[in-house]
Copies of this chain bind each other. A is one copy, B any other.
């Protein structure tokens, strides 16, 4: 292992054998020494869950050539990063990359995303970190055209670093006949998921629900991730885990809170 090569931690939320992480590992191997610590099963929609009421297990595996180590973890994406840093790697990595997710994590989806929670967890630990997502939920999604952009963005982060408290959320349009037009730095669109619960009855007469929903962009801005993704650009949103709405502090101080 070269001393000059950056050490790169790779994780995801679709599980260690997913096509997305396999593509990500291949690109990262061109940039440094790669260590993979990823869930042993799909963990989509797990948000920033951590496991405090159950045990966690690690299992060394070898899914493919390339990485210096691959470890499957029984926990959530955030657990994977915590275990990687504390129990698997000897030193902090120079970069953490999460993904490539099978499905979008643009706009409000960042809140629910296991992919992004892994990237944010690494950011909290002071590690430059990026989450990558392809807007294609298919298990057999095609990452071919995405890969050079993933490489380029990771290389820029290794070269430039990221300030404390900032993590990148990169979303890549589903591959089509038209090549990607480029990368746009933008902000998270104001959007939500309009839920629609699919109500059913089980064989013994008890009702239950499946959560489904439709994405709804509430933001007409021309500087958002949704805007540029729709135009076949790759969106790059810098995100932070200081959730303080600083603009609201002055206003709240006019409330009658201490009378």
Q: Which residues of A contact B (CB under 8 A)?
A: 42, 44-53, 55-58, 78-79, 82-83, 85-87, 108, 110-112, 117, 120, 124-125, 152-153, 156, 160, 163-166, 169, 182-183, 185-188, 190, 192, 195-197, 199, 206-211, 236-246, 248-249, 252-253, 255-258
Q: How many of these chains are in the complex?
A: 2
CB distance from A133 to the nearest CB of B (A): 14
Q: Given known contacts A42-B53, A45-B49, what 8 new A-B pairs fall within 8 Å (CB)?
A: A45-B53, A48-B112, A50-B112, A50-B211, A57-B206, A57-B207, A86-B197, A182-B258
Question: Across the interface, do A45 and B55 meet the contact criterion of CB distance under 8 Å?
Answer: no
A242 and chain B: residue at smallest CB distance: B188
List, sorted by A's number, 12 A–B pairs whose CB atoms are closer than 8 Å. Answer: A46-B47, A46-B49, A48-B48, A57-B209, A79-B211, A83-B197, A108-B241, A183-B257, A187-B249, A236-B257, A238-B244, A240-B248
**Chain A contact residues, majority secondary structure:** mixed
Question: Across the interface, do A156 and B45 meet the contact criterion of CB distance under 8 Å?
Answer: no
Question: Across the interface, do A56 and B211 meet the contact criterion of CB distance under 8 Å?
Answer: yes
Q: Which residues of B contact A153 (CB under 8 A)?
A: 257
Tell me the bound Cα distance from A211 to B58 in angstroms: 13
Tell me the bound Cα distance from A82 to B213 in angstroms: 11
Q: Indicate which residue in B49, B58, B258 contacts A183 across the interface (CB closer than 8 Å).
A: B258
CB distance from A192 to the nearest CB of B (A): 5
Q: Indicate which residue in B55, B79, B120, B245 contacts A166 across the interface (CB closer than 8 Å).
A: B245
